[in-house]
Amino acid sequence: MRVHTLLMMVCLLLVGFQLQAADPPSKPPELSSIAPGAELWRDVRQRDQDVTGTTQVRSPGADVLINVSGQAWREYRMQELIPLSGAAIAIVLFVILLFRLVRGRIMLENGRSGLRILRFTTNQRVAHWATAILFSILGLTGLTLLLGRSFLIPVFGAEGFGTIAAGAKFLHDYLGPVFVFALTWLFVLFVRDNIPSPKVDLQWLLKGGGLFGKHAHAPRYNAGEKLWFWLASIVGLAVIISGLVLDFPIFGQTRSTMEFYHWVHSIAAIVLIVVSFGHIYMGTAALEATFEVMQTGYCDSNWAKEHHDLWYDEVKDSEEPVPQQQAQPDPGARQSTDSA
Amino acid sequence: MARMKFYCDAERCIECNACVTACKNEHEIPWGVNRRRVVTIKDGEPGERSLSVACMHCSDAPCAAVCPVDCFYTTGDGIVLHDKDICIGCGYCFYACPFGAPQFPEAAAFSSRGKMDKCTFCAGGPEEDQSSDEYKKYGRNRISEGKLPLCAEMCSTKALLAGDGDVLSDIYRKRVINRGASAFEWGVNNSKIPG
Amino acid sequence: MKKLTRTSHDVQQSAPEQATSPVPGALSRRAFLKNSSLMAGGAALATTVSPVMMKKADAAVTSGGKTEEIKTICTHCSVGCGIIAEVQNGVWTGQEPAFDHPFNKGAHCAKGASIREHGHGERRLKYPTKLVDGKWQKISWDQAIDEIGDKLLEIRKTSGPDSVYWLGSAKHSNEQAYLFRKFAAMWGTNNVDHQARICHSTTVAGVANTWGYGAMTNSYNDIHFSKAILMIGSNPTEAHPVALQHIFKAKEENNAPVIVIDPRYTRTAAHANHYLKIRPGTDVAIIWGMMWHIFENNWQDKEFIRQRVYGMADVMKEVKKWNPAEVERVTGVPEAQVYEATKAMADNRPGTFIWCMGGTQHTIGNNNTRAYCAFQLALGNMGVSGGGANIFRGHDNVQGATDLGVLSNTLPGYYGLSAGSWKHWSRVWGLDYEWVKGQFDDGSYEQSKGKDVHVMNTKGIPVSRWIDGVLEDKANIAQKDNLKAMFFWGHAPNSQTRGVEQKKAMDGLEMMVIVDPYPTASAVMPDRKDGIYLLPAATQMETYGSVTASNRSFQWRSKVIDPMFESLPDHTIMYKMAKKLGLDEQLFKNIAVNGEEPLVEDILREINSGMWTIGYTGQSPERLKKHQENWGTFDYDTLKAEGGPANGDFYGLPWPSWGTPEMNHPGTPNLYDTSKSVADGGLTFRARFGVERDGVNLLAEGSFGKDSEIKDGYPEFSDKVLKKLGWWDDLTADEKAAAEGKNWKTDLSGGIQRVAIKHGCSPFGNAKARAMVWTFPDPVPIHREPLYTSRRDLVEKYPTYEDRKSFWRLPTRYKSIQDKDFSKEYPIILTSGRLVEYEGGGDETRSNAWLAELQQDMFVEIHPRDANDAGIKDGDDVWVEGAEASKVKVKAMITRRVGSGVAFMPFHFAGHMQGENLLDKYPEGAAPYVLGEAANTAFTYGYDSVTQMQESKCSLCRITKA
Ligand code: SF4
Ligand code: SF4
Ligand code: SF4
């Protein structure tokens, strides 16, 4: 796992540098400077607003003689979005790796109790996994379109990547609207217990979630989870709205509208993706006995006591013994124990 | 090597749209797609001028830069072409292009635009020159026949010029010299239109 | 059925498939060589013409192949641009620029650049169709001709031949136009006319009565020599775009100032140095206002006037009244602008004067055109290269159709309708004059000098008034009965005013026959259940023949593709019709008929043998074909061939090309140009109006053509004049026999013309142009307010004419309309014009997807102030209600292009009627892509006092939000 992560990180960083090298600070596209009507063209170009006129052609934007926002958008995409998002992903993965190296896998202090508590209903789990799967597909397809040109074309060739990208675009465009429903569903199911309880949450945060020693009290969801929930909801809303604007170009959206929403969509999505790495790591490999909770819906009593003590106090009456065949340690745990 | 360019002389363009329909004619362009268009600024007012716009075959082409699948390429003549087999119809080239050159046959829900289509400088695409595949996807390949783009060849007033940039500059220079004083005179009376 | 398979669908499918090798490949070698050689030789043109080749063909060059290159001529306007069509296995697969064509150098406007759409023809009328119980029914050609013919014969019996109206077309080739006119004559009526009536009839009348011929005097190319260019009521950027190629050449290379006078700040005005925004309908006022400055500053060419102009003193008297204050009061143009523009014309000679329908389509259209002529005469701009009256005609062959007399007031060649004219043509046709006369109704409904005039010799109803021929009380019409049947043979009704009444007239007819490649609005306007026949005509791309461009040049069109679907060429349809009516033997006496198709070349030969008046005699099919094949050998500036098979000829043998084809006259590039010998295309003003009037000499004084043996004015030539001059013996014996008792117009041997020219003389004499036409209602042009005027304060000083009882067979109203004040209810002046994408009624161009996409909505231009007053925003639907209460629902376009108080509508749309969409009424699959209200639905009554030209440039309306 560590090797993989490392490799990925190096790749991403390299790509980031490559992009930097490949795109020198761009100048306006070179036009003919002694062209007929050159003065007019120059006038027209040296403005910071679109030059519009009239035309008999009816396609959107046809009346714009020079689209000045395109240049800014190009610069944003090529100089900022692609290198920075690449870097951001790399950095987050690096931090996670570092954390892993420093902190290792966090085991249950008291081992498994043999008792379990129902933490997620089936409904909740389905909603979570639906959202998670959609999120992953959208994230991966999105990243394919964003970064694929840089590091997938060398692998698959232009034609091969063209096919992949077409598939990615198709999935992204058709699953995007489904994500809207999944996220809404998730929100409705989880919002109640994610309402902040300032005192506890603040304390939890101050104690660094108990990751580095001192135990931190936490209700059903700790402040970290709540932050993720609200981040996912609010930034997710931005992704959704901007995504819908981009996905349905049938209301005469202008180029600058599209560019603006693309800007929103890309930043929001990268934030979500980057943070989701943390969530994924915490939910899978970071803590013993965590991944199974979303798998089965049940958590070990000791797990509840250690991570969500306030909640455990509320629900401890519902403890029940773990049926034999279900008590499987998660594979991640074994792997990490092996290699650590 | 020649660097192919379009120039449009605003002093001459009269918005007759010949360039637009010549293009449709030559490449059988469907309704709704316009590889070339004429934009008039100050329509109906003193100083009204028109310019015929299509892909300008930029040297550092923004469309090519932002294309997520890298489907653009520049020919030895400096003509910017693209590969419709690779194009995924994302519309990015249209956002980036300063001239609104890229066109899409559809604008439907779920971002379906179809394959991007744009002015090819009548140079077809990556398919074999003058093959029927090339014709279907990109229209005629006049360059391979030793001819220049039809829009410019049919321009009513020879406002629109196409060809090697150096040659075009020469022509334009001659025109400006010819124009002499009159080029700067227009509009003297126009500023005083009653009503 | 076989023809039906060549649908556009097939074309689209097959073209790409065949593209593999033959389409582009076959062309390369030849085209490349041709183009590159042109480039090498064309360096001088480089500033005007785009470089053709800059790069070696690097593609594999395939040899042979089946692609044919066919030369033809654009059918969309009178510029006459050359076209090279590429045809493969009968399918029109490509269009190449005709770089070596002397008129356009490969250039086109939107219409010409998309003309290959003819090869798709998706929205064409596909087979003969008949309206039965309100539904369109496909019928066979035989059934159609049979039923139509029977009905015609029935009407002939009950109401007489004058009850059938033959409405022809400027879209016909010369041969078809001539045949059509002859057909009407054989049928026995003068009720035959075409679009020229409503486009340049006032020009033809005004100009012909000023200096002899009613045509553009110079050419588009000759503008290269102009030092100044004045355009009034003309917007060539939209109507004749390729003309701008020539205008810009003069503007850039000669530093020629461009002056535009127009109520709208047109796209042409945008490229002008001087722009004068006049109130619609004040042309005479502005021209006299300009001439006021000319006379005030003594800028007139006194010597020219003394030698070659009659009546300028009368003009001067009228002009005196038009001081700058009065000019501004009437036209709205301030003195400084008028002065500047006039000075530009006076300082830069020769200057050319261009006008179009903005000047002609008025109740005083003939006054306007004559005022323009007087202006050019005063400056001495006539008869010189770079000067002239460059009247841009409209349709591709409106000049030819006019020359060939598809008019209710003349036989071919402007011979008129007198007995002598009929005898001349009967002779040419090889028919007995009495038989021809017998074809007519035997009545007499008009008197001249107290004597009855036979109906054969009276002008028919003009097309502008056919409506009234149906609707007017029978007792008021000077013919036996009302019109009962109409042939619309290539005519769009929406180009005519009074749309609502027109619909009523259509409803009132017994039969309508529409012969056209498209159903046209005539098919959908009336609320009829039956009695309409649609006959699919082939386009000019599907047949061949000659066409006369605006500059009088003949061009030969080759057939590009076979007629599509079940369509037939017009002359074939005429043959079928004539056969059914039993006229085929007479009509085709000198003309071979192959199957059912009359031989085009034979028709042209017959034209050559009879059209002596205007020199349509030298243009034999052989010479025209030679010109077509070698069009690259003609000079771009002078139109003269230097070397090559047509050496010395002017391109297209611009008429007059005197004498027989064997005489090899090169054609006349510029009319009335005395600097050339007549044999080389020179000419004097025509002696058409006598030799003297009230003791004043009408012949030229001291002015004569180069090489003229008579060093002064002289009358027109006849046998007597030749004898008097002692030149009679220059005729051969045969010529003498033919010329005895004849004159230059009627001598079928051409001998008189030959001998006159041999001595350096113009066959038609050498006279003065007349600035005062004493035979017209206003001998010296004067300003008269339009019938529907918003300037009530000017009515008293500039009133219109008195009503007339019988004028071209019909009562015609003037004063009774103007007396009523409409300006309160209808405060906005309404004018109309063209769009570059469409032509005429627009059925053809609105059915061309490549063009239709560019103009999808009918609109009205409104000044922001008027729009704000009416609460209208850009793009709103508005009602434009004309002063006669018919209204159209269109989109508002708010623009300063029009002045405050003026609104403009383009006239190419049809298919909506007063807010109702008539799409369902078209035969299936034959509706144009774009429909819209016809501007002329809202236009009103008003006709020129000489020619019955309709007033469609100046009426009143009210605009409200819909
Ligand atoms: S599509 Fe636009 S950006 Fe690309 S080369 Fe053409 S003009 Fe330049
Ligand atoms: S054809 Fe020439 S003049 Fe006409 S709109 Fe195009 S560039 Fe302008
Ligand atoms: S419509 Fe007139 S100007 Fe346009 S291409 Fe045809 S002939 Fe030329």
| Residue predicted with more confidence, A44 or A323 | A323
Q: CB neighbours (10 Å) of residue C8?
A: 17
What's the distance, CA C441 to chain centroid?
Answer: 30
* Residue that has been written with the tokens 């060059």 in this structure: C61
CB contact under 8 A, A58 and C856: yes
Is a pLDDT exceeding 80 seen at residue A22?
no
Determine which residue's CA is closest to atom 3 belonging to ligand 2.
B13
Instruction: Determine contact, residues C831/C263, Cβ cutoff 8 Å.
Output: yes
Is a pLDDT exceeding 50 seen at residue B186?
no
Q: Is residue B192 part of a domain?
A: no
* Model pLDDT for residues B80-100, shown as the tens digit of each residue: 999 999 999 999 999 999 999
Give exposure, C664-679, as e/b (b: 16+ Cβ within 10 Å). ebbbbbbbbbbebbbb
Q: Which one of B11, B12, B19 would you pick to mutate in the ligand 2 pocket, going by the greatest count of ligand atoms within 8 A of its CB?
A: B19
Q: Is residue B191 part of a domain?
A: no
CA nearest C858: which of C891, C904, C896, C898? C891
Determine which residue's CA is closest to atom 4 belonging to ligand 3.
C109
To the nearest whole percent, how much of chain C has pLDDT over 70? 93
| Strand pairing class (C769-770; A298-300) | unpaired
Q: Is residue B109 part of a domain?
A: yes
* Distance set, CA C911 to CA A309, C383, C888 (Å): 80, 45, 11
CA nearest B108: which of A248, C387, C366? A248
- What value of ipTM does the predicted structure carry? 0.92
* pLDDT for position C53: 34
DSSP code string of C877-940 = EEEEEETTS-EEEEEEEE-TTSPTTEEEEES---EEETTEE-GGGSPTT-S-S--EE-GGGS--
* pLDDT for position B89: 94
* pLDDT for position A316: 86
* Model pLDDT for residues C592-612, shown as the tens digit of each residue: 999 999 999 999 999 999 999
Tell me the Cα Rg of chain B: 18
Per-residue pLDDT band for A41 (boundaries 50, 70, 90) equals low
* Model pLDDT for residues C402-415, shown as the tens digit of each residue: 999 999 999 999 99
* Model pLDDT for residues A168-188, shown as the tens digit of each residue: 999 999 999 999 999 999 999
CA B84-A267-A125 angle, to 5 degrees, is 95
B33 touches chain C (CB under 8 A): no
* Model pLDDT for residues C857-899, shown as the tens digit of each residue: 999 999 999 999 999 999 999 999 999 999 999 999 999 999 9
Describe the crossing of helices A223-247 and A255-281 by its angle, rounded to 10 degrees. 150
Q: Is residue B23 part of a domain?
A: yes
* Model pLDDT for residues A200-235, shown as the tens digit of each residue: 889 888 888 877 667 788 888 999 899 999 999 999
* Phi then psi dihedrals of residue C567, to 5 deg: -70, 155
Per-residue pLDDT band for C25 (boundaries 50, 70, 90) equals very low
Provide, as residue numbers in chain C, all residues whose Cβ is less than 8 Å from the Cβ of B152. 50
* pLDDT for position C131: 96
* pLDDT for position B192: 36
What CATH number should be reported for the domain holding residue B152? Answer: 3.30.70.20
**CA C88, CA C15: separation in Å to the nearest integer?**
9
No. of H helices and E strands in chain B?
A: 7, 6
CA nearest B61: which of B101, B27, B24? B101
* Sign of torsion over alpha carbons A245, A247, A252, A256: positive
Residue range of the domain that includes B49: 4-186
Ligand 2 pocket, CB under 6 A: B 8, 13-19, 38, 50, 52, 155-157, 159-160
Ligand 3 pocket, CB under 6 A: C 74, 76-77, 79-81, 104, 108-109, 111-112, 240-242
Interface of C with A in 847-906 (CB under 8 A): 853-856
Tell me the Cα Rg of chain A: 25
Start-to-end CA span in chain A (Å): 11
Write down the H helix ranges in C480-610: 499-508, 570-581, 584-587, 600-610
Domains of chain A and any CATH numbers = 123-326 (1.20.950.20)
**CA C926, CA C567: separation in Å to the nearest integer?**
14
**CA C179, CA C181: separation in Å to the nearest integer?**
5
The length of chain A, given as a count of residues: 340
Is a pLDDT exceeding 60 seen at residue C697?
yes
Per-residue pLDDT band for A42 (boundaries 50, 70, 90) equals low
Per-residue pLDDT band for A103 (boundaries 50, 70, 90) equals confident
**CA B21, CA B13: separation in Å to the nearest integer?**
15
The least confident of A140-144, C15-19, C652-656, C935-939 is C15-19
**CA C153, CA C439: separation in Å to the nearest integer?**
12
* pLDDT for position B177: 75
| Residue predicted with more confidence, A23 or A118 | A118
- Longest CA span, chain A: 86
Is a pLDDT exceeding 60 seen at residue C27?
no
- Count of structural domains, chain B: 1
* pLDDT for position B12: 92
CA nearest C213: which of C671, C746, C772, C691? C671
Is a pLDDT exceeding 60 seen at residue C51?
no
* Model pLDDT for residues C733-786, shown as the tens digit of each residue: 999 999 999 999 999 999 999 999 999 999 999 999 999 999 999 999 999 999
Interface of A with B in 292-331 (CB under 8 A): none
Q: Is residue B121 part of a domain?
A: yes
Q: Closest to B158 (Cβ–Cβ): which among C28, C107, C851?
A: C107
Please tell me the distance in Å from B88's CA to the nearest CA on chain C: 24
Determine which residue's CA is closest to atom 2 belonging to ligand 3.
C77
Q: Is residue B167 part of a domain?
A: yes
- By the 10 Å C-beta count (0-12 exposed, 13-18 middle, 19+ buried), C336 is classed as exposed
Q: Is residue B85 part of a domain?
A: yes
Q: Name the average pLDDT for chain B.
A: 88
**CA C730, CA C682: separation in Å to the nearest integer?**
21
DSSP state of B37: E
- A35: which 2 tokens? 């062209």
Q: Is residue B154 part of a domain?
A: yes
Provide, as residue numbers in chain A, all residues whose Cβ is less than 8 Å from the Cβ of B89. 169
Is a pLDDT exceeding 90 seen at residue C218?
yes
CB contact under 8 A, C856 and A57: no
The least confident of A293-297, C20-24, C369-373, C692-696 is C20-24
- C376: which 2 tokens? 């050019």
Is a pLDDT exceeding 70 seen at residue B50?
yes
